[in-house]
Structure 1
Amino acid sequence: MPSIRNITIAGASGNLGKLVIDALIARGEYNVHVLTRNGSDASIPHSVQVTAVDYTSVAELTTTLKGQDVVISTCSPGALESQIPLIEAAIAAGVKRFIPSEFTADIGNLKASALPQYTAQLRIQELLQNATNENPDFSYTSIRNGVFLDWGLAMGFQVDFKSERPALYDGGDRPFSTTTLATVAQAVVGVLGRLDETKNRAIYVHDLVTTQRHLLSLARKIAPERRWEPVSVSTEDMERKARENLAQGKADLISLMGFYCRSVFAEGYGGEFKRVDNKMLGLGYKSDADLEIILRGVLE
C-alpha cells in the first residue's frame, strides 16, 4: 500500500484515545488530526490539529476527511453507531484505512458474538467488510485486545479488590487475555506500519494471559495485611440476569455486566486468545513482575 502521512482520530478525548494521540506524536512520522463534537471542550495537545464536526453529517465529515490517509475511531461503547456516517465519509473522501472502535473481546468467537453487547461492533464489522468489497481502495483493521488490564483492575472488573468478598467467576481458574491501554495504543501504531499484513482483518494482541485466582494470589503477596474471602459466581446466572435487565429496558454497564463477564471468563467464549499478532506489530509481552507493579498501583 502507498505510504501514509495524515491520520485522523475520532473520539480522542477518552482514556484510549488520548494514549493513541500520544503514541502517534511520539512516532514523529504523522500529521495528527482530531475530530471533536461541536461544542466539545476536550483537552487536546496543542501540536494536534482539531476540527469540530457534526458527526451525523456525511457531507461535512467528507469535506473534513479529504486528504486523510487513515481514520482511527476510539469512540465510547455508547457511541458506536456514530461510526456509520464516519465510515461513509471516509470512503467518499478517499481514506485508505479505517480502524474502528472495537478494542474488545474476541467477537469472532461464535458464543461471544451471540451476546447482545456486541451487536453494534458486529454491525460495524459487517459494514466495513461490505465497504471493502465495493471499494477496493478502502480497507480496515479491527483490533481485539481482551480486557483492558490497567483500566479493568482499577475499575474492579477482573477482581474487585475494594471488596472483602470479590467474585470469582466460574471458579476463577479460566485463563483470559488482558492488555494495557498503552499497549493497545502501540498496537494501533503497529498497524500503521504493517498496512499490507493487517488489511481487511482483525488482529489480536495481549500483554499476558492470567486468571482471577492468580491475580488474587499476587494481591495477597503485595498486601498481606488485607483479607479477601472470594465468593463463587456463575457467569451463566449473570448472563440470565443481564438478559432480564435488557428486556426491562435496563442497558447501563452494571445491568449488562453479565454479558461482559461471560465473554471473558466463561468456557468456550474465547477469553484467552490462542494466537496473537504481537510479534508482527513489534509488541512484547508483560511478565508477572510487570503485573505486580500494576497491581501495586491499584492496591495502594
Structure 2
Amino acid sequence: MAIPQSIRNVVVFAAGGGLGRAFVEALQREGFNVSAVTRPSNSVSYGPGVTMHRSEYDDFDTLVAIFRGQDAVVSTTGTFAAKYQLTAIDAAAAAGVRRFLPSEYGGNTSLVGVTSYPPFAAEKKAIVEHLRTKESQGLTWTSLCVGIFFSWVLEEGKGTLGWDIDKGDVTIYDSGNQEFDTSTVDQVARATIAILRNLEETENTYVFINSFVATQNQTLSALERIQGKPYKVSHDFWSAARSRGLAALERGEIEAGYHDLVTGTIYDPGHFALFKAEEVGKWKKILRLNEKEDLDGVVTDVLRKKYLI
C-alpha cells in the first residue's frame, strides 16, 4: 500500500512494552520506515527492518539526534509515565518532526474539569497543552482518545475493572450498568496508521475511536454464557475504588494504586471513559475504520488465549 510522501519515517517512542511492540509491528506491516526508542536498560529488539535506539527519556540532545529526519513520533509511554513525553516533544520540535501522537490510549482528557481527576488524566492533559505551544515551530499533533484496552484487562486479571477470569471472580461496581468505551489494540493501531495518512483532517485535534461500548453486566453475561459456568460476584463502588487508589499512590504503592485508580475512573459516570457516539462515528468515518468488533468476539478470543474454553 502506498504511503503518502509526507509521512514515511515513523519513530515509536517508549517502545519497550506491549503497546510499543504492537505499534512497531503494525507500522512495519504497512510499509513505513520504523524506528523504536527504548531506555538503555530495556533489552527489547525488533529484528531486521526496525532501527533500534537506546536513550534515557529526558536526554534532550540524544532524542533530537534520534528524531532528526523522522516525519512522525508515536508515543507509547505508560499511564503513569506521561511526564516523560515533555522532553520528547521539545526534541521533536527541535528536530523538525511534523506530527507527534502523545500517549493517550484510554479516556477523554479533553473534558473540562479533567484536571480534578486522578493524576494520570491531568498529566495527559498537560502534555497536550505543551504540544500546543510547539505548533508555531511546525510540530503538529493528534491526541488519539480510545476506549479501555478491554482484552488486556481481562487477560491480566489482578482485579482491574473488577475482573479475575482465571478464578471466575468479578466485583460489580455500583449497578454494573455504567457504559464505557472499549478498544482492541488492533483497532488503536489501525487508527494510528489512519491518522498518519490523514494529516490535514487530524491536525492539532483530539480524535475519538472505539471498538464497541460495553457494561460490566453485559460482560459478565457474555463470560458466563461462553464459558458455561457462573461467576462468583461481589460488589463495590467506583468512588471507593478511586479513593483506595489515590491513597495507595500517596503511600508509594504504584501497582496497587493503579488497579483501583483505573477501575474507579473507568466506572465514574462523568464520561471520562464514555465518548459521544456521534464523535466516535465521525472519526471512524474519516479514518475509514470499518472493522466489526463486538463483545462476544473479544471475550471468546481472550478465553481461548488463556485456555479457559
The answer to whether the superposition gives a TM-score over 0.5 is: yes
**Structure 2 equivalent of residue 55 of structure 1:** 57
Distance 1:113 1:177, change over 3 A: farther
> Which range moved further: 36-45 or 67-76?
36-45
Provide the residue aligned with 1:153 in structure 2. 154
Matching of residue 227 in structure 1 with residue 233 in structure 2: no
Shift of 1:295: 4.2
Q: Deviations over 1:278-300 (max 9, x none)?
A: 22222134134423422432544
Give the match's secondary structure for 2:207: strand
Distance change (3 Å), C-alpha of 1:195 and 1:227: same
Calculate percent identity across the aligned residue pairs.
Answer: 27
**Separation (CA, whole Å) in 2 of partners of 1:184 and 1:45:** 23
Query: Which ranges of structure 2 fall in alignment gaps of 5 or more residues?
Result: none
Name the structure 2 match of 1:206: 210
Mapping 1:1-300, distance limit 5 Å: 3-28=6-31, 30-110=32-112, 112-115=114-117, 116-132=119-135, 134-135=136-137, 137-156=138-157, 157-158=160-161, 159-224=163-228, 226-247=229-250, 249-274=251-276, 275-276=279-280, 277-284=283-290, 285-297=292-304, 298=306, 299-300=308-309
The secondary structure found in structure 1 opposite 2:92 is helix
CA distance in 1, matches of 2:248, 2:287: 40
Aligned residue identity for 1:253:
E
Give the secondary structure class of the aligned counterpart of 1:38: coil
Cα deviation digits, residues 63-83 of structure 1 (max 9, x gap): 221111101111223432221
The gaps in structure 1 that reach 5 residues or longer are none
Structure 1: distance between partners of 2:271 and 2:261: 11
CA distance 1:231–1:40, shift in 2 (3 Å): closer
Deviation of 1:264 after TM superposition, in Å, equals: 1.3
Secondary structure of residue in 2 paired with 1:264: helix
Q: Which amino acid aligns with 1:192?
A: L
Q: How far apart, in 1, do the equivalents of 2:74 and 2:272 lie?
A: 25
Which secondary structure does the structure 1 equivalent of 2:134 belong to?
A: helix
| Contact 1:112–1:269 under 8 Å retained in 2 | no
- Worse overlay, 209-218 or 47-56: 47-56
Aligned length: 295
C-alpha separation between the residues in 2 aligned to 1:76 and 1:111?
Answer: 22
RMSD: 2.1
Q: How many Å separate the matches in 2 of 1:31 and 1:164? A: 43
Q: Is the 8 A contact 2:242 2:265 kept in 1?
A: no
- Cα deviation for residue 38 of structure 1 reads 2.5
Distance 1:117 1:258 in 2: 13
Aligned mates of 1:84, 1:138 — CA distance in 2: 13
